């Protein structure tokens, strides 16, 4: 006769039976399409925004502070009046706000890699790029939200886009498309660097000067010649100019074309690179 | 290598190095379908690297392997369609709820929206997580995470499951629950490759066991064969007064020929298989005035297995207590 601790044996029996029943009946469904897998990962990104809304607050508060500070502190000095300057700077702040968000895509990927869940994703019979494309699609929704916050703040302060809602929507769309392309650089960094902090530092070390050395805050004609030349070819300047154009109903197709081409170029180079690094683990 | 349909895993000369370290150094494996195959070894022995190669997460440097009849390099997608992986550190998303984790995996495996909801509810129920299903996983205890992790692995029943140290860091009650789940899976026909640091776990669950050390298989057989080859057990006594250790050691050496050091200064252990002889030794200690607070007659630890098989202790000795703290909520 054997004596067991009272709790162990009945527990074991129920567990086993329930598990046997739960695994008995499933048939393996057909493989999911790449799009469906990517959208599922996008849904995962959305859930994270829902469960950890703080990450959205972080990247939204800063640009709102920038709008307020630049408009009221520098507006008078830079453009003569705060109202004038707001019309100039708001599309630029929109660009900056959304671009800053892209760094967090790399940070989030790096954080993911430190957890075991990535191993599970990589062992699933799905399109290998789905987790990456999906999370960037999810991030794009975040980009839209942070862009909308800036637009609303601008409207409250007196910003009036002449092209109305369609113009603002087109500008936001262009910024989000560019950001989708740009974020592949940061996902690559996210896979190469060791810690989420390193990704954040490297990311902002790049994006911060590039944003300030653009026409986001000031008209480049006031800059020294050599700097002006750089600012004029900086894709962020071109994006900001195109967004201003779209909002004011004076869009330059050439600028829009360059922005789309840069976004496509970044995706073509860095998306396969990111996928390869991700697969290799 | 001719494929053998009765085998779920068939590996020959698997080799993987990281820099100068040979993580897996020429491993051959043959795992029959419908069985539990234990891979026993300490931290750093190469268990996880081996699983990662077989689960198509990393590519081997040399050697070949077939999983469910498919070459792991040439037919990685076919392999992935039949396996599931439960990692050493729970492979679930901490920022989602338990239910959302199961829905995510179910959707990725192609279940329909409605099916996946029912399936998630059914699994949460079966794994004792119904009440916690709506909570974020980061609030789960270690045992709950492991159960969710295994549930995520069976959203669609796999033909072969890799379980990497499923009970490391769990308290005895959670460990028993996980063992119950594993037995349920096996009786349902799933093949399991179980990596573990605990001989007891391999003994409880596995049909066959490979002991690996520094990337090599150093022994293979049924748990019974393995235990016979290393001696069947150990008597551990805990002294009231650690200063009496020398005196106690002398008595145990007289009775059993040798004593093994123990990390606990108040404890001593000696190889012993016969409860009668153990009782006699305890009586001897009492007669000599050595007071003990407790004693146990247990199966050999991994350290003892290693000592017996290799003549050297395992590189890193496993420590349940330490890992409980690491993996706690």
In a domain, B273, yes or no: yes
The answer to whether the CB atoms of B122 and A12 lie below 8 A apart is no
In sequence order, the 6+-apart residues with CB closer than 8 A to the CB of B12 are B1, B28, B63, B64, B65
- Residue B131's pLDDT is 93
- pLDDT score for B143: 87
**pLDDT over 70 percentage in chain B:** 89
pLDDT at position B224 over 60: yes
Q: Which of A7, A44, A116 sits opposite B87 (nearest CB)?
A: A116
Q: How many domains does chain B divide into?
A: 2
Q: Is residue B305 part of a domain?
A: no
For residue B259, the domain's CATH number is: 3.30.70.920
Which of A35-39, A148-152, B15-19, B196-200 is most confident? A35-39
Q: What pLDDT score was predicted for residue B198?
A: 86
Q: Is the pLDDT of residue B329 over 70?
A: no
In whole angstroms, what is the distance from residue B306 CA to residue B300 CA? 10
Counting one residue from A and one from B, how many pairs have CB atoms under 8 Å apart? Answer: 142
Question: Which residue has 């393996």 as its token pair?
Answer: A28
Residue B102 lies in a domain: yes
Shortest CB distance from B108 goes to which of A22, A37, A119? Answer: A37
d(CA A275, nearest CA chain B) in Å: 13
Residues constituting chain B: 329
Q: Report the pLDDT value the prediction gives residue A14, as an integer from 0 to 100.
A: 54
Residue B232 has pLDDT above 90, yes or no: no
pLDDT of A217 reads: 85
Question: Tell me, what's the pLDDT at B24?
Answer: 92
Write out the E strands in chain B.
7-18, 21-32, 36-40, 62-67, 70-71, 83-86, 160-164, 191-196, 208-213, 216-221, 234-239, 267-271, 292-298
What local confidence, expressed as pLDDT, does residue B297 receive?
78
Confidence of residue B326 (pLDDT cuts 50, 70, 90): very low
State the DSSP string of A172-228.
HHHHHHHHHHHHHHHHHHHHHSSSHHHHHHHHHHHHHHHHHTTTTTS-GGGS-HHHH
- pLDDT surpassing 90 at residue B42: no
Query: Do B83 and B96 belong together in one domain?
Result: yes
> B153 near B126, Cβ under 8 Å?
no
Q: What is the structure's pLDDT at B90?
A: 66
Residue % of chain B over a pLDDT of 90: 40
Q: B93 to chain A: nearest residue by CA?
A: A117
- Cα gap A89→B270, rounded to integer Å: 79
**What is the CA B315 to chain-centroid distance, rounded?**
17
Residue finishing a domain among B198, B228, B258: B228
Cα–Cα dist B98/B91, whole Å: 12
Last-in-domain residue among B193, B228, B263: B228
d(CA B209, CA B205): 10
Contacts B179 to A, Cβ<8 Å: 12
Quote the longest CA-to-CA distance of chain A: 95
Contact: A281, B125; criterion CB under 8 Å: no
Contacts with A18 from chain B: Cβ below 8 Å: 125-127, 184
Residue B83's DSSP bridge partners are B160
Question: How many Å apart are CA B202 and CA B300, to the nearest integer?
Answer: 12
B242 is a domain residue: yes
Cα-Cα-Cα-Cα dihedral sign, residues A96, A97, A102, A106: positive
What would the mean pLDDT of B213-232 be, rounded to a whole number? 81
Q: Are residues B166 and B254 in the same domain?
A: no
- Are both B205 and B68 inside the same structural domain? yes
B185 and B284 assigned to the same domain? no
Q: Which of A29, A47, A130 sits opposite B100 (nearest CB)?
A: A47
Laid out side by side, the sheet with B70-71 consists of B21-32, B7-18, B62-67, B70-71
Residue B309 scores a pLDDT above 90: no
Which of these ranges, A128-142, B238-252, B261-275, has the smallest mean pLDDT?
B261-275
Q: Are strands B216-221 and B208-213 parallel, antiparallel or unpaired?
A: antiparallel
Residues of A in contact with B136 (CB under 8 A): 51
The answer to whether residues B120 and B249 belong to one domain is no
- Domain with B271, as residue range(s), is 233-298
Question: Does B250 lie in the same domain as B220?
Answer: no
B183 and B269, same domain (yes or no) = no
- For residue B130, give the DSSP letter: T
User: How sure is the predictor about B315, in pLDDT bands with cuts at 50, 70 and 90?
Assistant: low
How far the first Cα of chain B sits from its last, in Å, is: 46
Instruction: Measure B55 CA to nearest chain A CA, in Å.
Output: 6
Helix (H) or strand (E) holding A37: helix A34-51
- pLDDT given for residue B299 in this prediction: 66
Backbone phi and psi for residue B328, each to the nearest 5 degrees, phi listed first: -60, 170
Domain holding B95: CATH number? 3.40.50.300
More confident residue, B44 or A156: A156
Query: What pLDDT does residue A7 have?
Result: 41
d(CA B203, CA A194): 39
CA–CA separation, B223 and B200 (whole Å) = 9
A123 with B90: Cβ contact below 8 A? no
User: In which residue ranges of chain A is pLDDT below 50?
Assistant: 1-13
Question: Running DSSP on this structure, what letter comes out for residue B139?
Answer: G
- Please give the mean pLDDT across all residues of chain B: 85
What pLDDT is recorded for position B301? 63
Q: Are residues B268 and B242 both part of a single domain?
A: yes
Residue B187 near chain A (CB below 8 Å): yes
pLDDT digits (tens, 9 = 90+) for B63-81: 999 999 999 999 998 999 9
User: Do B179 and B56 reside in the same domain of the chain?
Assistant: yes
**Mean pLDDT throughout B188-203?**
89
How far away is chain B from the Cα of A76, in angstroms, using its nearest Cα? 45
- Of B107, B109, B187, Cβ closest to residue A20: B187
B197 phi/psi in degrees, rounded to 5: -100, -5
B321 or A237, which is more confident = A237
Among the partner-chain residues B87, B156, B181, the one whose CB lies closest to the CB of A119 is B87
Residue A116: Cβ within 10 Å count: 20
Q: Taking 50 as the threshold, does the pLDDT of residue B98 lie above it?
A: yes
Whether the ipTM is more than 0.85: the answer is no
Residue B125's contacts (CB-CB under 8 Å, 6 or more residues apart) are: A18, A22
User: Per the structure block, which two tokens stand in for A229?
Assistant: 């030349």
pLDDT at residue B231, as a whole number: 63
How distant is the Cα of B309 from the closest Cα of chain A, in angstroms? 32
For chain A, the structural domain boundaries read 34-280
Q: Which residues of B touch A16 (CB under 8 A)?
A: 180-181, 183-184, 187
Which DSSP state fits A70? I
Residue A130's closest chain B neighbor by CA?
A: B108
Q: Under an 8 A CB cutoff, do B107 and A32 touch? A: yes
Do B215 and B186 sit in the same domain of this protein?
A: yes
Residues of B within 8 A of A15 (CB-CB) are 128, 177, 180-181, 184
Query: Could you tell me if B38 and B172 lie in one domain?
Result: yes
pLDDT of residue B134: 95
CB atoms near residue B102 (< 10 Å):
29
Predicted confidence (pLDDT) per residue in B125-146, tens digit: 988 899 999 999 999 998 899 8
Both B222 and B279 in a single domain? no
């Amino acid at each position: 006769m054997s004596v067991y601790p009272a709790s162990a044996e009945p527990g074991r029996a129920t567990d086993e039976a329930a598990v046997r029943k739960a695994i008995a009946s499933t048939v393996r469904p057909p493989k999911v399409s790449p799009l469906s897998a990517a959208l599922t990962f996008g849904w995962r990104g959305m859930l994270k925004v829902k469960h950890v809304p703080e990450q959205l607050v972080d990247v939204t508060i800063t640009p709102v502070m920038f709008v307020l500070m630049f408009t009221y502190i520098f507006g008078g000095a830079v453009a003569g009046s705060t109202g004038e300057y707001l019309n100039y700077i708001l599309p630029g702040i929109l660009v900056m706000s959304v671009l800053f968000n892209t760094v967090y895509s790399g940070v989030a990927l790096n954080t993911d890699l430190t957890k075991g869940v990535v191993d599970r994703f990589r062992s699933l019979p799905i399109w290998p790029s789905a987790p990456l494309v999906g999370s960037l699609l999810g991030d794009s929704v975040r980009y839209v939200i942070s862009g909308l916050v800036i637009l609303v703040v601008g409207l409250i302060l007196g910003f009036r886009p002449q092209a109305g809602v369609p113009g603002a929507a087109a500008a936001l769309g262009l910024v989000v498309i560019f950001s989708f392309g740009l974020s592949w650089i940061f996902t690559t960094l996210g896979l190469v660097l060791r810690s989420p902090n390193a990704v954040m530092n490297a990311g902002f070390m790049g994006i911060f000067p590039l944003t300030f050395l653009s026409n986001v805050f000031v008209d480049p004609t006031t800059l020294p010649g050599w700097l002006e030349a750089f600012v004029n070819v900086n894709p962020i300047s071109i994006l900001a100019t195109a967004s201003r154009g779209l909002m004011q109903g004076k869009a330059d197709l050439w600028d829009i074309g360059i922005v789309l081409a840069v976004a496509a170029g970044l995706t073509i180079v860095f998306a396969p690179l990111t996928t390869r690094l991700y697969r290799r683990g | 290598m001719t494929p053998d349909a009765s085998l779920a895993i068939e590996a020959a000369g698997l080799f993987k190095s990281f820099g100068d370290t040979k993580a897996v150094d020429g491993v051959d494996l043959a795992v029959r379908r419908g069985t539990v195959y234990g891979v026993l070894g300490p931290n750093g022995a190469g268990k996880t690297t081996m699983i990662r190669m077989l689960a198509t997460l990393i590519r081997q440097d040399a050697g070949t392997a077939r999983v469910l009849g498919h070459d792991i390099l040439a037919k990685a997608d076919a392999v992935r369609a039949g396996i599931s992986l439960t990692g050493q550190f729970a492979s679930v998303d901490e920022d989602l709820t338990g239910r959302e984790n199961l829905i995510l995996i179910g959707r990725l495996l192609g279940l329909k929206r409605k099916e996946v909801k029912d399936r998630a509810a059914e699994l949460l129920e079966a794994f004792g997580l119904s009440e916690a299903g709506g909570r974020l996983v980061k609030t789960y205890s270690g045992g709950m995470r492991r159960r969710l992790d295994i549930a995520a692995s069976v959203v669609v029943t796999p033909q072969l499951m890799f379980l990497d140290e499923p009970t490391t860091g769990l308290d005895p009650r959670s460990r028993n629950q996980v063992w119950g789940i594993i037995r349920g899976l096996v009786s349902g026909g799933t093949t399991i490759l179980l990596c573990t640091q605990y001989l007891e776990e391999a003994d409880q669950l596995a049909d066959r066991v490979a002991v690996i050390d520094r990337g090599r298989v150093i022994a293979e057989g049924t748990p019974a064969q393995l235990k016979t080859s290393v001696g069947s057990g150990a008597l551990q006594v805990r002294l009231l007064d650690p200063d009496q250790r020398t005196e106690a050691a002398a008595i145990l050496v007289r009775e059993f020929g040798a004593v093994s050091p123990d990390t606990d200064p108040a404890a001593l252990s000696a190889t012993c298989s016969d409860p009668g002889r153990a009782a006699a030794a305890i009586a001897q200690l009492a007669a000599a005035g050595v007071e003990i607070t407790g004693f146990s007659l247990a199966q050999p630890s991994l350290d003892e297995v290693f000592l017996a098989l290799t003549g050297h202790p395992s590189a890193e000795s496993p420590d349940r207590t330490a890992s409980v703290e690491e993996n706690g909520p």
